[in-house]
Amino acid sequence: MTNTQSLTIGQTAYPTVRVGDHSFANISVADFLEVPPAPIQRNSERRVSKMKPIFDEAYAANQRASLTEVVLGLISDDFDDIDVETGTVIASYKVGEVFILDGNTRRFYWKLNPERAKQLASLTAKIHFLSSMEDMKFAYYPYNSKESVEKAGEILQGLARRYNWQPKQPMFQNGGYKTALDWASSIDDGDVHQRFNELFEELKLLDSIPKSGHTISQPAMKCLKSQPIMAALLIALKTNKNNLNLYDFVERLCNITEDDCKKAIANDTVNPVEVIAIEWKGWSTMRGNNTTTTWLNGLAGTTKFASREPQLDFLLYWISEYIKNPKCTNNFNKGVKKTYWEDFMKDNAV
């Protein structure tokens, strides 16, 4: 199959030319615009605004030919994409299917600027022949390395596309949860792909709670948009599957307000949701006249790895307290002691 003499896109068969180990074809822009992105492709739509000035400059300088080299993946043997965790088939690929490996941002640019697309006579497509998901990864990532701004967040966008996950929250859409994923994963030496696979179901749950109102990526209190909080919630969702009290906790944390916290402080009685919100706001210093430090000594919200354990101890302890009894409360001045939550993760084998 790697010696194929043609590349078929839609109803058009394009002849190919072999140069060394590679095949090339000249294809129409119109046909290229209809080719889907690789299943592991990042959200190129979001990069158009960033890249538009560069593309515009190429046209203005009469260098538009620099934009006409693209890379396509041609399925040369049928294969399945199999989830390594569950063994289930994510998708199946058939001989002859074609995907964009490089050029997807330009594809969206040309769709948004059709007059620019009409200025191009054709595109030169380099062809990679794919017979497995490993082939697809090896073909795709060299074009989207760190030098091409392919960062962890963009890899997470590609993984969401691969698993046909369409998140509703912007943070999940943008792949902006890498630290939370690292902190929540039990795979100490795993890469972003392995950690995504491990926590995929929990990510989908966290994205879906609550059904309306504020979310964990856009909470009523902005300080609660926090990678440590998200990590703790992913762990809690993993270890407390289908727990309605936990779902309620997430919803209340998303929607708690500064006024709610002020009232709780004034009443000297705080529930677990209020404890977390007050600490992340930095208001736990208000618990006594001579108090100058927060419960976590200023660590709340930091993403340095050294702060991982104390923050997750604190968060998971108060989440577990709420799960056990949503009506539980503590004395603001005296009832939230470090000895309660210290070493919580280790002692509870989270």
Are 98 and 244 found together in one domain? no
- Residue 144 and residue 166: Cα distance in Å, rounded? 22
CA distance 111 to 170: 23
Q: Is the pLDDT of residue 227 over 70?
A: yes
Lowest-confidence pick of 41-55, 142-156, 235-249, 306-320: 142-156
Residues 175, 307, single domain; the answer is: yes
Residue with tokens 């091409």: 148
pLDDT reported for residue 4 = 54
Which of 128, 148, 168 marks a domain boundary? 148
Say whether pTM exceeds 0.75: no
Inform me whether the pLDDT recorded for 150 exceeds 90: no
Residue 241, pLDDT above cutoff 80:
yes
* Segment 74-102, tens digit of pLDDT: 999 999 999 877 788 988 999 999 999 98
Which of 118, 148, 178 terminates a domain? The answer is: 148
Looking at the fold, whether 144 and 194 belong to one and the same domain comes out as: no
d(CA 253, CA 250): 5
Consecutive H or E run containing 126: strand 123-130
Asked whether residue 1 is domain-assigned, the answer is no
Q: Is residue 128 part of a domain?
A: yes
Residue 296 dihedral angles phi and psi, to the nearest 5°? -100, 15
Closest CA to 315 of 335, 302, 300: 300
Is residue 202 pLDDT above 90, yes or no?
A: yes
For the ranges 135-144, 199-208, 258-267, the lowest mean pLDDT is seen at 135-144
Q: Show the CA angle centred on residue 244, arms to residues 239 and 247, nearest 5°.
A: 75
* Residue 197 and residue 329 in one domain: yes
* Cβ-proximal residues to 127 (8 Å cutoff; 6+ apart), any chain: 7, 16, 22, 23, 24, 25, 71, 72, 73, 74
Do 301 and 205 share a structural domain? yes
Provide the residue range defining the domain that includes 24: 6-148
* 157 and 142 both lie in a single domain: no
282 and 136 both lie in a single domain: no
Question: What's the mean per-residue pLDDT of the chain?
Answer: 89
Quote the tokens at residue 8.
Answer: 């078929």
For the cut 60, the answer to whether the pLDDT of residue 292 exceeds it is yes
Pair (159, 140) in one structural domain: no
Q: What is the pLDDT of residue 142?
A: 63
Instruction: Identify whether residues 166 and 314 lie together within a single domain.
Output: yes
Give the integer Cα–Cα distance in Å for 166 and 253: 23
Predicted pLDDT at 211:
84
> What is the count of structural domains for the chain?
2
Are 83 and 163 members of one domain? Answer: no
- 250 in a domain, yes or no? yes
d(CA 76, CA 165): 26
Query: Does the structure show a pLDDT above 80 at 47?
Result: no
Instruction: Output 109 or 147, whichever has higher pLDDT.
Output: 109
More confident residue, 154 or 201: 201
Q: Which residue has the tokens 């509870």?
A: 348
Residues 45 and 155 in one domain: no
Assess if residue 248 is contained within a domain. Answer: yes
In terms of domains, do 137 and 195 share one?
Answer: no
Q: Domain boundary residue among 148, 171, 198?
A: 148
